[in-house]
Structure 1
Amino acid sequence: MDILFFKADWGLEFQGSLEQRLEQIAHAGFDGIESFFLTMEPQTFRMRCKDLGLKFIGGLIAPDAKTFRSFLPRILEAEPLFINCHGGCDSYSFEENLAFLRECMAIAKGEGDVPVVFETHRQHSLYSPWETERLLNALPDLRLCADFSHFTCVGETDMVHSIGQISEPFGLPSMVPDPVKARVMDLAISRSDHIHARVGTDQAPQVADPRRGEGPEWCAHFEQWWDRIVARAREEDRSFFTINPEYGPAPYAPCYPNRSQISDHWELAIWAMERLRARYISDTLDAPGTSDTSGKTESSN
């Protein structure tokens, strides 16, 4: 199975025009670009990607099904491998989210059965692990872009442990493995067809630097989830799988009080690509278990 690495166009405005960014993405060794905002005509964009040997994942922001239907044809003109949708709204009821996702999936099927994944992302339908679980159970065909940094941030948890029994009135609570969280992550992992490989924490959707401070511990924690997704894709005998090491700019990323960057998100994306390429293409991936209960220590929360 080929592991393909994509660079998000988000946060690269400082690198010039879209055409210039495509050239830098190709030069850095990425296999493609994932973009939510095409500022070139789709046919021109498609040909430029072809010239540079880049593949394309089409991003689509759609708060409602009407928007999804309206913008889908333009993205399809650029011939994406698939669509990644930031869809729906966190303020919708479960029934509204369910209706939105059903309609979008039906629209995509009517457009030649184009593959669509829906990203686990704040502000949207799949903003929390708990709502995502309910929707996945209601929609057997719903597939995900796994951005689990939003799960840890929204849940304020490592998605493994919960507070155990408190034995003393003023003592620190113990943290114990939570089977409910394991169940949620098992389900999400089983339905993930694309990874946004950004490391977050229980307090933020992005670490300041995955190489320093608390970063390596959280990085190892997230990699256990990604290992399982990649291993499942291999077991399904897929021809390729896609990973986007999506590190964002300040102020999304932790930053100094003047909003200047603590670390360079372009550098982090390249570092993460090289790390994961070595991890998954070296055939050293261990067979994962069914539930992740060993990643973080009890002090992590």
Structure 2
Amino acid sequence: MVLKFFCPRWGSEHLSYDTFFSQVKAAGYHGVEMSLEPDMSNAEKEEVSRLLNKHELFFIAQHWQTTESNFDLHQGLFKKHLRHLAGFNPLFINTQTGKDFFTESENIQLINIAEQVSKEAGIAIFHETHRGKWSFAAHITKKYLKKYPHIKLTLDISHWCAVAESFLQDQQEAIDLAIQNTEHLHARIGFTQGPQITDPRAPEWRKEVDIHLKWWDRVIEKHRKNGRAQFTITPEFGAPPYLTLLPFSRQPLVNQWDINVFMMNLLKERYR
């Protein structure tokens, strides 16, 4: 099975697309994962597509922008965002879907909208496990997956560690079910008090790193056994406020770009 690694645009928005894509390619990534605003001009859309081709990069579309609490407004904008992203013909769309306070019926309506857009466009759509969304916690996601087993996930299990204030030792069934439904991986390492440790290279975080690696091992092994030709991973250590800043000076403790490159190389070596 070939692994493809994707660089998040998050944290590099200050760079032009051309500069960003050039740095991504030079670092050894196979593509980028990023969101694109629906109000982009046609010229901007053409430029992004041209530059992706120029740098020979694959593209995973990322949706997170639909945040409205009014459900009727939310569902209309959600569909608009997904259709916009589908127009770029990405490998697939990764979406942060729904709200933790929406009812199950409302969240399922949104998941069904994603299914509709997926069928219309012929592009897979996966739902990211994320705080604040329908999938904000392991035990809640388990209920959905048991009832709606067709839902496919982007697994970012770091969020669940923060929500549960644990490494989910007592939620093995939820983890097993999530791994079975995982189609894409966000490689960020969380801990019991937050979704992102300060630095995975530091020895004091060895326990947290090892726990996440063992979860990811299971995802990779499942797809290898199933004969999958390709699997995608996005190292996704984030920008501030995920990235800790020093008080007063507001200087970052570490370099976000360097950490994500470190994570990519760690996983390339582990799974080669």
TM-score w.r.t. structure 1 length? 0.82
Counterpart CA distance in 2 for 1:107 and 1:72 is 7
- CA distance in 1 between partners of 2:44 and 2:141 (Å): 34
Q: 2:79·2:114 contact (CA, 8 Å) conserved in 1?
A: yes
> Post-superposition shift, 1:247?
0.8
Residue of structure 2 in register with 1:17 after alignment: 16
Q: SS at 1:53's partner residue?
A: coil
Matches of 1:76 and 1:100 in 2, distance apart? 16
Distance in 1, matches of 2:44 and 2:23, equals 19
- Cα distance, 1:188 vs structure 2: 0.4
- Shift, 1:254, TM fit: 2.6
The one of 138, 142, 154 aligned to 2:147: 138
- Residue of structure 2 in register with 1:289 after alignment: none
- 1:120-157, CA deviations, whole angstroms, 9 ceiling, x for partnerless residues? 01121111112111111121110000000000001111
In 2, the alpha carbon distance for the partners of 1:77 and 1:250 equals: 30
Contact 1:153/1:204 (8 A) holds in 2: yes
Give a deviation string over 1:203-227, Cα, whole Å, max 9, x none.
1100001111432211111000101
Three-state SS of the structure 1 residue aligned to 2:193 is coil
Find the aligned partners of 1:154 and 1:109 in 2 and give their Cα distance: 33
Number of equivalent positions = 260
SS in 2 for 1:214: helix
Which secondary structure state, in structure 2, belongs to the residue aligned with residue 72 of structure 1? helix
* Pairing partner for 1:49 from 49, 52, 60: 52
Q: Is the 8 A contact 1:143 1:192 kept in 2?
A: yes
Q: Which runs of 4+ in 1 moved over 4 A?
A: none
For 2:185, what is the secondary structure of its paired residue? Answer: strand
Residue correspondence of structure 1 range 76-95 to structure 2 within 5 A: 76-95=86-105
RMSD across aligned C-alpha pairs, in angstroms? 1.6
Q: Of the two, which has the highest radius of gyration? A: 1
Partner of 1:26: 25
Aligned residue runs from structure 1 range 1-301, under 5 A = 1-14=1-14, 16-37=15-36, 41-61=44-64, 62-63=66-67, 64-112=74-122, 114-160=123-169, 178=170, 181-258=171-248, 259-281=250-272
Identity %: 31
Q: Which has the higher helix share?
A: 2
For structure 2, the residue ranges without an aligned partner over 5 or more in a row are 68-73
8 Å CA contact 2:96, 2:133 repeated in 1:
yes
Distance 1:216 1:154 in 2: 21
> Which range moved further: 37-46 or 67-76?
37-46
Contact 1:250–1:260 under 8 Å retained in 2: no
Q: What are the Cα deviations for residues 47-69 of structure 1, in whole angstroms up to 9, with x where unaligned? A: 21122121000011234332232
Q: Gapped runs of 5+ residues in structure 1?
A: 161-177, 282-301
One-letter code of the match for 1:11? G
| TM-score of the two chains, using structure 2 as the length reference | 0.90
Contact 2:34 / 2:62 at 8 angstroms: preserved in 1? yes
AA aligned to 2:167 is D
